[in-house]
Amino acid sequence: MKLRVAIIEGGRSGEHEVSLRSAAAVAAACDPGRYEVQRYRIGLDGRWSPRPILPEPGANPEIDVVFPVLHGTFGEDGTMQGLLELADLPYVGAGVLASAVAMDKDMMKRVCRDAGLPVVEWELATRAALDASRAVARFGFPLFVKPANLGSSVGISKARTPEELDAALRLAAQYDRKVIVERAIAGREFECSVLGNEHPEASVPSEILPSREFYDYDDKYLLNAARTLVPAPLDPAAAEELRRLAIAAYRAVECEGMARVDFFLEARTARFYLNEVNTIPGFTAISMYPKMWEHSGLLLPQLVDRLIELALDRHSEARKSRYAR
């Protein structure tokens, strides 16, 4: 019998359209001889089509495994993962805790810093107190300002003056009540794909060459001008260090299934800094997560097979736990 795979797409986030493109790529990569694919779309208003997945064990008998391809809030932040846990359904990707921690840039930085990993220094502001004076005093200009909970560079700005900083804070606060203000790193940008549950593996890394001052939403999805180099032009020792750090970050936030880990290489110090851990990376035609695995010898259909296997393995392992005396 074919395995019945429910792909969830769309969602209530600024990355809705990116999710639709990623989900289409995942669906196309599913071997029709092995899988029966069902598409579940969540609109920007939060409504499901054709119907919602119900948060009760046994209430979704038509589903064997779920592949959530939701980027950003209400999909990548632990909320969807919580629904699927309540429904007792196997699902691809990180669990509730890892999803929530990785999505919140402030919490991700805290966890990775405490694990001894190099993170870009930051200060936290809130919508109720949009004050970045501590960041200015610590780091000077320029600064990067980001919503704490979002992805695809939505709401991110580079501020070089007090006036630009004020505008950047107000923009970021439209997307989240928590705002990250970071020291700007002058250097190169790298990414690394990680795959696995208890024994994660890292792909060859890639380098991002933005066409703009930084790799923003337009550069990622609209302009088609940024370039990527896979494998990244790094000496073997540096590439191995990046892969080691990617796996360490993956483990620090307790990821499972998959993640794309992003880094800066600071020109002045030649030191890698962890930027983000993305627990549901993109699967579009330009997305780096599947591209890095392709260059590591794992084509997209094989990658989808492996992610589904990891989801089923984790669910089987979770069922060994007792929840009552």
Catalytic positions are: 15, 152, 221, 260, 262, 276, 278, 282
**Separation of alpha carbons 125 and 109, rounded Å:** 15
**Separation of alpha carbons 141 and 294, rounded Å:** 39
**Separation of alpha carbons 26 and 162, rounded Å:** 43
User: SS3 letters for the chain?
Assistant: CCEEEEEEEECCCCCHHHHHHHHHHHHHHCCCCCEEEEEEEECCCCCEECCCCCCCCCCCCCCCEEEECCCCCCCCCCHHHHHHHHCCCCECCCCHHHHHHHHCHHHHHHHHHHCCCCECCEEEEECCECCCHHHHHHHCCCEEEEECCCCCCCCCEEECCHHHHHHHHHHHHCCCCEEEEEECCCEEEEEEEEEECCCCEECCCEEEECCCCCCCHHHHHCCCCCEEECCCCCCHHHHHHHHHHHHHHHHHCCCCEEEEEEEEEECCCCEEEEEEEECCCCCCCCCHHHHHHHHCCCCHHHHHHHHHHHHHHHHHHHCCCCCCC
278 φ/ψ angles, rounded to the nearest 5 degrees = -105, 110
